[in-house]
A and B are shown apart, each in its own frame.
Chain A
Amino acid sequence: MYIAKRGFAKLTDTAKAAAQAAASQSRSGSDRSPSSSSSSSPRSSSHSQHPHFGHEGHVLRVTRLPNDLLVATEDHASPLARICVAVKAGSRYEPAELPGLTHHLRGVASCATKQCSAFGLSRNLEQLGASFRASTTRDLMLYTLEVSRQNLKEAIKFLSYATTQQEFKAWEVHDAQDRLLVDLDILKIHPEVRLVELLHKAAYRDGLKNSLYAPRFTAGNYHGSMLTEFAKATFKTNRMAISGVGVSHDELLNYAQKYFKMDVGEKEHALTPWSAVTNIEPVDHRVHHINGGNIVSEPARYGGGEAYEETIDCLTYAAYVTEGPGLNEPRQLLALKLLQHVIGGSSKIKWGRGVSPLARAAASATNEPFAVNPVSFDHADSSLFGVAVVCNPKDARNVLRATIDILHGKEGVDQQRLEQAKNRLASAILMGHESGAELVQDMATQALINKQILTPEDAANMVGKISLEELIMAAKHALAGRATFAAVGNLAYCPRLDDVA
């Protein structure tokens, strides 16, 4: 039973701590190497009064620990430390017989661990002023902790308990079904999310077709032992990465070596582990063995196809995509994103439809309101690249035909439009990563998927170097493959794939 022995800090304590930290800051400043001090001295002089900042500037550091755990940090001058633990436990690694297992896993992220109970976890983090959230992509499970720098020492313990020492008690998994049902009810009012899930189901043949959301019949029917087996197979240090923004590399390395060891023996439990406590034989025939304890990672298999979900709606939501390169081929992927900005950027004016080629083509095909966007759903080794359309059901066919023509290059691209698109894409990348929250999750994702991590500046520079021929080549390559088409909503007048392609 761990209770943070910390109330509200008294003024004298903070002043003392500030004086101590300032003294250590000035000492460490003299030890800094010439190269880093020259680049960061302007910043450090203005922050020398601030007690907690010993940052190094925007330097990305990556280390691979002996147990194959990757640690990446960028130490910004930020009072907030953000740590993200990424695990290769996304929906593509779900066992085939247990759809939606990762949705359940996401729901019990804040439940009991071997060292502290669910209540203790949430109260302690609350007391430290930390926020903890779990999100899933198709490849990864991301656990993010955001806390002020001085509380990181205490808070990171809880992050490690929640990611490496989960307990998955049967009744907590059962109680989490309420959260699951809320998620599924929210899905009812977001057809665009259902469209994306449908698109993946139609496009891929293996793991990537799994949805991020569990089917409704699984609520309350999955047992904690299934989650335990899944976690045992996927939460291994060679499938994990920790990234930090606003924390020094040495500090995060220290925590990673101390807390993320994954070999907590039975003796080190603070709470009694359930396997040791009850003398009751587990009579659970619902436990599935996941390939004898190892998840087999298969490359993505794209097949293409169509999928439709007809609902009562006044709009049609449709998407047309083909397969593109994954996150492990950043240059080709950036070329396709550049193409997205050539054919259509989103309007920067509220309620406006924009003047991009896509918007103009759709506007010529319908008088009703519409929304047309180029889309790209990126995964580790494959992506879906195309357009998504929301429009009046009667005009669906014309709008889709017009936008897909633009996608296939009807309006063409020249050097001037390429430069404009490059500016748009570079600024989008940089602005998207202004928030440390986005940056830390991106770093963790790239650490697990790529051999190298591209910072936003690297990515923006790479964009600048892409030539017109490269762009056209990438577009031709992507659009030559078999297409996937998915539609949700009012499908009374919706065309099929052979009508639009």
Chain B
Amino acid sequence: MSTNIMIPNKTAVQKLWDNIRIVKNAYDSWKFKSAGYREYGLYHSDLYNDDNAVVAEAVRRLPEHVYEARVHRMHRAMQLSRNKIILPESMWPKEDEPMQHYLEPYIKEVQKELAERAEWDKR
């Protein structure tokens, strides 16, 4: 049962980086679970505070349905916190869900635009 597929052996450096990645993923996973926001049904991006001008502008740019979902989740979390209960485990958001970081691209874009303005103002 010999095959023609050649799988190259990994170098020592590659193996090292693999191990670091495993450790990092485990640490990230532990961080996510212990942070405490997923029990209230919040995403990572919901934690950004609107008081910051950059975040406020990013939130303004969200599509309507995303913004409304964000507001709904925040209201639900506030209600749960007031009543000192948490959601059932089936409703907790998953770690690998892409919606966890829905605000990141908008924040990056706003930061890019501010940096561009600052760069031009320097001249």
Given the complex, which residues of B lie within 8 Å of A272, measured CB to CB? Answer: 105
Question: Which residue of B is nearest A272, CB measured?
Answer: B105
Given the complex, which residues of B lie within 8 Å of A123, measured CB to CB? Answer: 120
Cβ of A34 under 8 Å from chain B: no
Given the complex, which residues of B lie within 8 Å of A282, measured CB to CB? Answer: 63
Pairs A–B under 8 Å by Cβ, sample size 22: A1-B112, A1-B115, A1-B119, A3-B119, A3-B120, A7-B123, A117-B113, A117-B116, A119-B113, A123-B120, A170-B61, A170-B63, A171-B60, A272-B105, A274-B105, A278-B102, A279-B99, A280-B66, A280-B99, A282-B63, A283-B63, A283-B65
> Which size class do A's interface residues fall under?
20 to 34
Cβ of A344 under 8 Å from chain B: no
Chain A interface SS verdict (over half): loop
Cβ of B98 under 8 Å from chain A: yes
A288 to chain B, nearest CB (A): 18
B interface, CB within 8 angstroms of A? 60-61, 63, 65-66, 98-99, 102, 105, 109, 112-113, 115-117, 119-120, 123
Evaluate contact between B99 and A119: CB separation under 8 angstroms: no
Cα distance A271–B110 when bound, in Å? 12
A interface, CB within 8 angstroms of B? 1, 3, 7, 117, 119-120, 123, 169-171, 271-272, 274, 277-280, 282-284
Selected contact of B116 from candidates A120, A170, A284, CB within 8 Å: A120
Chain B interface SS verdict (over half): helix
Given the complex, which residues of A lie within 8 Å of B63, measured CB to CB? Answer: 170, 280, 282-284
Cα distance A58–B123 when bound, in Å? 41
Given the complex, which residues of B lie within 8 Å of A117, measured CB to CB? Answer: 112-113, 116
Cα distance A119–B109 when bound, in Å? 13
Question: Which residue of A is nearest B116, CB measured?
Answer: A1
Given the complex, which residues of A lie within 8 Å of B60, measured CB to CB? Answer: 171
Selected contact of B102 from candidates A120, A271, A279, A284, CB within 8 Å: A279
Cα distance A278–B102 when bound, in Å? 7
Question: Which residue of A is nearest B123, CB measured?
Answer: A7
Selected contact of B61 from candidates A3, A119, A171, CB within 8 Å: A171
Given the complex, which residues of B lie within 8 Å of A170, measured CB to CB? Answer: 61, 63
A28 to chain B, nearest CB (A): 36
A489 to chain B, nearest CB (A): 42
Question: Which residue of B is nearest A277, CB measured?
Answer: B105
Selected contact of A119 from candidates B65, B66, B116, B123, CB within 8 Å: B116
Cα distance A366–B38 when bound, in Å? 81
Cα distance A169–B62 when bound, in Å? 11
Given the complex, which residues of A lie within 8 Å of B119, measured CB to CB? Answer: 1, 3
Question: Which residue of B is nearest A170, CB measured?
Answer: B63
Shortest beta-carbon contacts, A-B, top 7: A279-B98, A277-B105, A171-B61, A283-B65, A123-B120, A1-B116, A278-B105
